[in-house]
Structures are given as C-alpha cells and as structure tokens.
C-alpha cells in the first residue's frame, strides 16, 4: 500500500513536471529568461577565465616615436596625416598614474582619435620618479622640463607655434608655463579637468588644509610620497568606488567587449605612481594651501606667473561629477586668463570619463578636436 | 506511469555524457596545453547540456509571475544603495572633524614611521658597508649626480645653440651689408 502511494507521488510529480515544461508561457518571456540564463552562463565562463587565465591587456598600441628624453621624462610623437599644421603638446599629470590611459585600447584611445582627426600629437610622459628625483620641484617642471619639451615639439614638427593641452594636474603645470614663457608661441590652450582655483577643490582641499596636514613633516619624514599612499588617498576620496566597480563588472561580465575594456582600465587604475618629495611639498603648499596660481602670487625661475598673460584662445572642459577637480575649480581659468576667445563646456561624468570610455569618445573628444581644428 | 525503457535510455545517455565529460577533463588535466595555444574553455564542453538545462529552466520560470526585469530592478537597487552610502560617507568625510582626525592619525603614524625608517636605514647601511657594498643612499647620490650632470650638459648645449644662432645672424647681416 505504502509502495503504491509512493509510486503515485512520483508519477504525479513527473506528470506535473512534464505539464510544467509543456505549459504554455508567453514566448517573449521564455526568450527573455533564456537570454538572462545565457548571460549568467557567460558571466560564469568569463569569471573562470578572469581568475584562472588572466590576459595582460595590450595598452598603448598607437605607433609612436621618442623625440626627446630628459631624466625620466620622455616626449613621444604620434604621427598623423597632418590635416592641421599646428602640433598639439599634451601635458598630463605628474605622478599618481601612468599616461597609457590616453591610449588605452584601439577604438578607445584619445591619442588615436586626435591623430585620426589630423593632429600631430606629442605626449609628455613625466615618467616614474625614484629617490634620486626627490629634489625635483613643480618649479623645475615649469622652468626646466616644459620649455625644453615645447621647443622640441616646434623643432620636430617644423612649425612656429603649437597648441597645448593640459589634463588634470597637467593643466596648472602647463598654464604656469604658457603664462610665463611668451617666447614659446602657444596658439591654443586647452584645459581638461585641470584645477585652477584651489579654494573650490573639494575634499582634497579640506584634507590638505594646513590646519590638519603638515606637508613639511610629511615630506621630511618620508622623502617622497609612496605609490601606496597615493593610492590610499584616492581610494579614500571615493570609498564605494571598488564596490560599484565590482557590481558593474558582474553585471556586464557576459560582455566580452566590456571585459576587454575593464581589464585595461583596471590595470591602469591599480598602477599608482609616487610623487617626488619636493614636488609634493610645493604642490600642496602653493596650490592646495596657498591657492597662489589663481591669486597670481607664484614666481618660477624669476618669472611671475600671471594667468592673465595667457592671451591665446582657450578651451576649458569640466566634468559635472568630478570630485578630484570639481567643475568650479576648473572653470576658474576662464575668468583668470586675458584671452578674448574662451569657451567652456561641462560634460556629464567624472574625472576619468573625459579621457577614457565610451562617453569620452562620443561626447568629449569630438568636442576637443572640433574646437581645435579650425584654430590649427 | 513513467516508461521504464525511457528512463533507462535517459540514464544511459546521462552516463555516456558523464563518462565522456570525465575523459575530457582527465585529458585537460594530464596534458598541459602548448604555450601558444589559447586557454581551454571548460564551459564550452558542457555548453549543449547547459543550454538544454537553461532552456528548461527558462520555460519553468516563464510560467511564474517573476520576470527577468527583476534583475534590472535589483541592479538599480544596488546602484542606489551604493550611491546613498557614497553620499553619506562623503558628508562625513567632508567635515572638519574628519579632516582633523585624519591629520592626527597621519601625525601619529609619522611619529612611529620616522624612527623606524631611520633605524632600518642605518642598519641596512651598516650591513652593506660591512659587506663592502654600495648602500641605497650612495647609489641615490650617484644617480642624483648623473641627473645634475645631464642638466649641466643641457645648459651647455643651450649656450652653444644660442652662440651658433648669433653667429648665423651675424653672418647673414654681413652678407646683406656686402
């Protein structure tokens, strides 16, 4: 009797299962579920590959040649069809990160976009500094490195003038240079996410305030700012960043193209670069604590740095959700320069979304090349 | 009733698949792929079985009121939750108290690090000196001298370039004067 009942239960279950499988469900719903399950299967496959056989992303593939080297800093030339005569010198940040973010992957590279748009592109790679460079200052970069790099651009391209583009910290560096070296003819100047007014700099401004942060003690003790401390500072600025990155990674893990981009960007995002000690001291004291650039109180190599001495056409690009260089701190250049022709745009996204990713290639880069083209 | 012959057939099929799968896995484990060969994808072998299973699950789930939109809603919820945490943390980290606390912690850390760093440096220098080897400080000093030398050479180059330029201008003006 018991056995019969058990058999009945099994039969009922198998029949029910069969009914369930045969049950009529909306075909679109079945298709949606199939797609969802398939995505999950692909996620698992890609996760397995990511963990067991990670592939080193091939970044920086645009062909280039070394034009000039000064200590660790190298000037690279990316040749183009040269539709526009005036070359462009790109000045990125010193320390913090490596510059291959600007040439991340084919089809997602700022350098590639600019060379395809017909600009001869010169990238200044500041390099990775060691303890022997701890004496290098911000002033040295403005008075000793940048003028030489700009002269080499003019020599190499055979032109009388050049355009300069400063990104992030590269903007205050290059703006100081452009303002104080009138003998190097700069035709156009672009500031992308570069802070100028440090009274509007946000969290870093508060943390580095002289009431709480003794930069002299810091540099005297450590000699330089190690890469790990730079990393800790930036991670603290947005503590949830790693979590949202992981959530987005899992969500898009089924997409091989996304994974390729993630690998490259993740490699860059975890490769921090140390600051030379004296550079950091001057950067914090004169910019974050003194806000001397916008006040016109800097004197480098005996030359006063007055932003109003910049008179060439300028283009400033800010990012709405930039917490490293908030748009207000970037926009300040517009009011500080003596140029008559000056344009400002504010794009959605954060600090990096101006220079890498799909949004940058769709919204930012065409605007930069579009502004520069008729002026070059 | 369930047909016993059909059940047997199903089990035979399952056993065959299992044996083939096991053999493939054994081959994968025992034979290391050549370095140039692309990494094997273990999911690829199970793909047909997986797809069939997923299809059945999809049909089952499609009869329930739960739709795949739920995943999208879950993702949105997670994003909003992270964003809310980010804002909350941002508010806390943007206070004077937090900045003060961070400054104090950094000061304390530096107080600990400075003597440790000095002691470690001294002991390493002493050890290297005993072994008659150059210390990091000495190597750094040599590297710094090379950097300074490079600077000087560049200054000399600049000077020569300026003189050559002037000579060139003088030669041109002399030719024009003639």
**Any domain includes B169:** yes
**A131 contacts B54? CB cut-off 8 A:** no
| B72 vs B9, residue with greater confidence | B72
Please tell me whether residues B117 and B153 are part of one structural domain: no
Task: Note the pLDDT tens digit of each residue in A214-229.
Answer: 999 999 988 899 999 9
Q: Are β-strands A298-300 and A303-305 bridged in parallel, bridged antiparallel, or unpaired?
A: antiparallel
Please report the pLDDT score of residue A1 as a whole number: 43
**A25 contacts B59? CB cut-off 8 A:** yes
**B54 contacts A34? CB cut-off 8 A:** yes
Q: Which residue of B has its CA nearest to A8?
A: B1
Residue B79, pLDDT above cutoff 70? yes
Task: Note the pLDDT tens digit of each residue in A341-351.
Answer: 999 999 999 99
| ipTM score for this prediction | 0.78
**A203 contacts B90? CB cut-off 8 A:** yes
**Any domain includes B129:** no
**CA dist., res. A96 & res. A272, Å (int):** 5
Please tell me whether residues B99 and B158 are part of one structural domain: no
**Any domain includes B50:** yes
**Any domain includes B128:** no
pTM of the model: 0.79
Distance in Å, alpha carbon of A30 to nearest chain B alpha carbon: 5
**A32 contacts B68? CB cut-off 8 A:** yes
Please report the pLDDT score of residue A185 as a whole number: 95
Please tell me whether residues B102 and B150 are part of one structural domain: no
Average confidence (pLDDT) over A107-132: 93
Contacts of B23 (CB under 8 A, 6+ apart): none
Evaluate whether A126 touches A98 at the Cβ level (below 8 Å). no
Residue labelled with tokens 């950091």 = A280
Q: Quick one: what percent of chain A has pLDDT higher than 70? A: 93
Task: Note the pLDDT tens digit of each residue in A145-155.
Answer: 999 999 999 99
pLDDT band at B78 (very low <50, low <70, confident <90, very high): confident
Residue A4, pLDDT above cutoff 60? no
pLDDT band at A42 (very low <50, low <70, confident <90, very high): confident
State the average pLDDT for chain B.
79
CB of B32 within 8 Å of any CB in chain A?
no
Please report the pLDDT score of residue A113 as a whole number: 94
Residue A334, pLDDT above cutoff 90? yes
**A206 contacts B107? CB cut-off 8 A:** no
DSSP conformational letter for A128: -
Residue B148, pLDDT above cutoff 50? yes
Chain A residues close to B157, C-beta within 8 Å: none
- CA distances, A348 to each of A145, A318, A363 (Å): 33, 9, 9
Give the SS3 label for residue A81. Answer: coil
State the average pLDDT for chain A.
90
Lowest mean pLDDT across A88-92, B6-10, B115-119: B6-10
Please report the pLDDT score of residue A157 as a whole number: 93
pLDDT band at A192 (very low <50, low <70, confident <90, very high): very high
Q: In this structure, what token pair is assigned to residue A352?
A: 């990096």
Range 111-130 of B in CB contact (< 8 A) with A: 113-114, 117
Four-point Cα dihedral B165, B168, B173, B178, nearest 10: 170
pLDDT band at B75 (very low <50, low <70, confident <90, very high): confident
pLDDT band at A14 (very low <50, low <70, confident <90, very high): low
Please report the pLDDT score of residue A317 as a whole number: 96
Report the length, in residues, of chain B.
178
Chain B residues close to A240, C-beta within 8 Å: 82-83, 85-86, 89
Please tell me whether residues B25 and B54 are part of one structural domain: yes
Q: Are β-strands A186-192 and A162-167 bridged in parallel, bridged antiparallel, or unpaired?
A: parallel
- CA distances, A186 to each of A27, A66, B76, B161 (Å): 64, 22, 47, 22
**Any domain includes B119:** yes
**B150 contacts A29? CB cut-off 8 A:** no
Residue B167, pLDDT above cutoff 90? yes
Who among B78, B94, B147 is closest to A203 (CB)? Answer: B94
Please report the pLDDT score of residue B1 as a whole number: 44
Evaluate whether A110 touches A360 at the Cβ level (below 8 Å). yes
Q: Taking the CB of residue A18, how many other CB atoms lie within 10 A of it?
A: 11
Average confidence (pLDDT) over B18-37: 60
**Any domain includes B28:** yes
Chain B residues close to A247, C-beta within 8 Å: 75, 78-79, 82
**A45 contacts B82? CB cut-off 8 A:** no
B contact test, residue of A34, A155, A280 with most B CBs within 10 A: A34
Give the SS3 label for residue A118. Answer: coil
Please report the pLDDT score of residue A346 as a whole number: 95
> In the structure, how many helices (H) and strands (E) does chain A have?
16, 12
Average confidence (pLDDT) over B89-112: 90
Please tell me whether residues B1 and B59 are part of one structural domain: yes
Please tell me whether residues B26 and B48 are part of one structural domain: yes
**CA dist., res. A29 & res. A117, Å (int):** 46
Please tell me whether residues B90 and B118 are part of one structural domain: yes
Of B103, B123, B143, which marks where a domain is finished? B123
Contacts of A280 (CB under 8 A, 6+ apart): A95, A215, A218, A219, A224, A225
Task: Note the pLDDT tens digit of each residue in A301-311.
Answer: 999 999 999 99
Average confidence (pLDDT) over A156-185: 95
Lowest mean pLDDT across A27-36, A47-56, B106-115: A27-36
Q: Which residue of A has its CA nearest to B140?
A: A132
Q: In this structure, what token pair is assigned to residue B159?
A: 């000077």
pLDDT band at B43 (very low <50, low <70, confident <90, very high): low
B contact test, residue of A6, A221, A279, A280 with most B CBs within 10 A: A221
Contacts of A305 (CB under 8 A, 6+ apart): A142, A176, A179, A180, A293, A296, A298, A299
Q: How far is CA A288 from the centre of its chain?
A: 20
Please report the pLDDT score of residue A306 as a whole number: 95
Please tell me whether residues B80 and B108 are part of one structural domain: yes
Distance in Å, alpha carbon of A236 to nearest chain B alpha carbon: 9
**CA dist., res. B101 & res. B98, Å (int):** 5
Who among A36, A71, A244 is closest to B147 (CB)? Answer: A71
Please tell me whether residues B99 and B55 are part of one structural domain: no
Q: In this structure, what token pair is assigned to residue B109?
A: 């850390």
Q: Is B60 exposed, middle or buried (0-12, 13-18, 19+ CB in 10 A)?
A: middle
Evaluate whether B125 touches B135 at the Cβ level (below 8 Å). yes
* Topology annotation, domain A65-226+274-375: Rossmann fold (3.40.50)
Number of domains observed in the structure of chain B: 3
Evaluate whether A99 touches A352 at the Cβ level (below 8 Å). no
Residue A5, pLDDT above cutoff 70? no
Who among B89, B140, B141 is closest to A240 (CB)? Answer: B89
Buried (b) or exposed (e) across A26-55, using 16+ Cβ within 10 A? eeebbebbbebbbbebbbebbeebeeeeee
**Any domain includes B69:** no
Task: Note the pLDDT tens digit of each residue in A248-297.
Answer: 999 999 888 888 888 888 889 889 999 999 999 999 999 999 999 999 99
Domain hosting B138: range is 134-177
Residue A141, pLDDT above cutoff 60? yes
Please report the pLDDT score of residue A95 as a whole number: 87
Which helix (H) or strand (E) segment holds residue B52: the answer is helix B42-62
Q: Quick one: what percent of chain B has pLDDT higher than 90? A: 16
DSSP E strands in chain A: the ranges are 65-70, 73-78, 88-91, 96-97, 121-125, 162-167, 186-192, 272-273, 298-300, 303-305, 314-319, 342-347
pLDDT band at B151 (very low <50, low <70, confident <90, very high): confident
């Amino acid at each position: 009797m018991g056995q019969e009942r058990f058999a009945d239960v099994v039969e009922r279950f198998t029949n029910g299962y069969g009914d369930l499988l045969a049950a009529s469900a909306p075909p679109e719903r079945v298709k949606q579920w199939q797609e969802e399950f398939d995505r999950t299967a692909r996620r698992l496959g890609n996760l397995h590959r990511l963990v067991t056989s990670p592939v080193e992303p091939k970044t920086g593939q645009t062909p280039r040649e070394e034009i000039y080297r000064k200590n660790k800093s190298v000037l690279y030339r990316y040749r183009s069809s040269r539709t526009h005569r005036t070359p462009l010198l790109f000045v990125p940040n010193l320390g913090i990160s490596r510059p291959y973010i600007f040439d991340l992957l084919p089809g997602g590279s700022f350098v590639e976009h600019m060379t395809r748009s017909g600009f001869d592109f010169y990238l200044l790679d500041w390099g990775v500094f060691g303890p022997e460079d701890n004496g290098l200052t911000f002033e040295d970069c403005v008075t000793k490195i940048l003028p030489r790099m700009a002269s080499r651009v003019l020599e190499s391209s055979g032109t009388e003038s050049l355009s300069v583009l400063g990104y992030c910290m590269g903007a205050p560096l290059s703006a100081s240079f452009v303002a104080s070296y009138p003998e190097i003819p700069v035709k156009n100047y672009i500031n992308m996410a570069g802070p100028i007014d440090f009274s509007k700099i946000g969290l870093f401004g508060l943390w580095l305030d002289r009431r709480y942060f003794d930069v002299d003690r810091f540099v005297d003790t450590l000699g330089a700012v190690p890469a790990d401390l730079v990393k800790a500072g930036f991670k603290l600025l947005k503590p949830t960043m790693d979590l949202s990155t992981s959530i987005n990674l899992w969500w898009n893990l089924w997409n091989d193209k996304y994974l390729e981009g993630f690998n490259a960007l993740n490699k860059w995002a975890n490769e921090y670069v140390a600051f030379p000690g004296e550079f950091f001291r001057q950067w914090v004291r004169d910019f974050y604590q003194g806000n001397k650039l916008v006040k016109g109180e800097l004197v480098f190599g005996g030359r006063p740095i007055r932003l109003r001495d910049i008179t060439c056409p300028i283009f400033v690009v800010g990012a709405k959700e930039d917490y490293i260089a908030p748009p207000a701190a970037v926009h300040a250049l517009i009011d500080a320069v003596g140029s008559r022709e000056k344009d400002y745009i504010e794009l959605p996204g954060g600090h990096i979304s101006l220079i890498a990713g799909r949004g940058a290639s769709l919204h930012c880069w065409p605007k930069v090349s579009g502004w520069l083209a008729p002026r070059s | 009733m369930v047909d016993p012959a059909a059940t047997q057939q199903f089990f035979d099929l399952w056993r065959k698949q299992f044996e083939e799968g096991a053999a493939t896995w054994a081959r994968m484990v025992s034979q290391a792929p050549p370095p140039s060969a692309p990494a094997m994808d273990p999911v690829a072998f199970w793909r047909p079985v997986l797809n069939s299973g997923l299809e059945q699950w999809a049909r089952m789930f499609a009869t329930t009121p739960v739709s795949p939109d739920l995943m999208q809603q879950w993702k949105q919820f997670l994003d909003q939750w992270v964003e809310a945490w980010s804002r909350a943390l941002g508010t806390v980290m943007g206070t004077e108290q937090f900045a003060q606390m961070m400054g104090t912690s950094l000061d304390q850390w530096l107080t600990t690090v400075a003597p440790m760093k000095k002691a470690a440096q001294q002991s390493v220098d002493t050890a290297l000196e005993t072994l008659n080897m150059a210390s990091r400080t000495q190597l750094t000093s040599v590297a710094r001298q090379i950097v300074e030398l490079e600077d000087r050479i560049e200054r000399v180059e600049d000077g020569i370039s300026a003189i050559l330029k002037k000579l060139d201008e003088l030669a041109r003006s002399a030719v024009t004067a003639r």
